[in-house]
Structures are given as C-alpha cells and as structure tokens.
Amino acid sequence: MAELLFDPASVPADVLSQDGVTEVNTLIEKLRSRLVDRVQMQEPGSGFRVSNMARVYSQAHLRRCLQLIEAAHDLVYTGRGLAALTLVRSLYETVANYVAVSQQLVELIEANAPLQEIHNFIHTRAYATRLAGCGKSRDFGKTVMKRARNGNLGLIKSTGYEGAKGDELGWKHHRPTFSAAC
C-alpha cells in the first residue's frame, strides 16, 4: 500500500474521527488503483472506439479529482486553508459534472440511441477541454491529441484568435493563454 495521504495522528478528532480518516485514505487508494497509463482508442479486433472514449473521459476526471485532493491537502498543511477550500469546491464540481455526464450517457444507452448519437455525445465530452480567455474558445483536446501523436508534450501557447472582437481601429483584444498538455 502506498503512503497514506492523511496521517490519522495529524487530523484533529473534532474534524474527522480516526475511522473517518482511514475511510478517506482507503477511498483515495481505490481511486489511485483505477488509474491507467494508457487507453488504446480502438479496441483490438473490432476497432470500436466509443467505450474507450468514455474511459478517456473517466481517466481525465479521476486524475483531476486526485490532483485536487492532493493539492488541497498540501495547502491545508501549509496554512493556506482558503485556497484549499477553493480546490475542494472544484472537486465537488468535477464530481457533479462527472455524475451528470454519466447519467446522460446511461440514459442514451438505455433508450437504445443510435451508436452515432452516443459517439457524438461522448466525443464532445471526452475532448471538451477548452482554452478560454478573453471570450475565446478553442478545441483543446484535438490540439493535445495532435501534439501527442507528434511527440510534442510541452505547453501549448495560444497566441492569436481569429474570431476575437476588434475595436473601432481594428485592434483585436486578446491576451495569450497557456495550458499544460497533461
């Protein structure tokens, strides 16, 4: 078993009981055990992709949850409680988003929706991460996949946006944004 994230001796009993700390650590270990290093987009033999797109979506949210938990933990123990609470809120929002999308996917499957409709639904969710800033929106997932295929895993810098609104002089107001491709 990996090192426990929360030391039961360092969590005050009025915050969470020792059994509660053990339960949280067990849950974190279960989540960590579900991480995979790679999701093959096409299933061997059939070439089917939809189920693996759902796995990509799940892995992305799982990784996000674990990073938020670990970062919040670190912030609490360095005296940055407000920042930690912000990350906890992000964790709740991530889980709520995952549950909502999962329920929608189950509804599509149970309604015997056409495979193309299910594919379109999961595809837009699995690759829906956006670069956002100054009102712009670009499909980040496709950029990440293209760069990964080319072996370029560094930061992605957005330096321009053709659709940015200009002022009366034609200047486009846009600040570059950076996003990590992870």
pLDDT tens for 104-160 read 999 999 999 998 999 889 888 887 654 444 333 345 455 555 655 565 545 444 444
Q: Which pair of structure tokens corresponds to residue 157? A: 């810098």
Instruction: Give the C-alpha separation, 21 to 129, whole Å.
Output: 33
Tens digits of residue pLDDT in 49-62:
788 888 888 888 99
pLDDT, mean over the chain: 75
Contact 118, 106 (CB under 8 A): no
Tens digits of residue pLDDT in 66-108:
999 999 999 988 999 899 999 999 999 999 999 999 999 999 9
Instruction: Give the C-alpha separation, 154 to 54, whole Å.
Output: 25
Instruction: Give the C-alpha separation, 158 to 164, whole Å.
Output: 12
Instruction: Give the C-alpha separation, 94 to 100, whole Å.
Output: 10
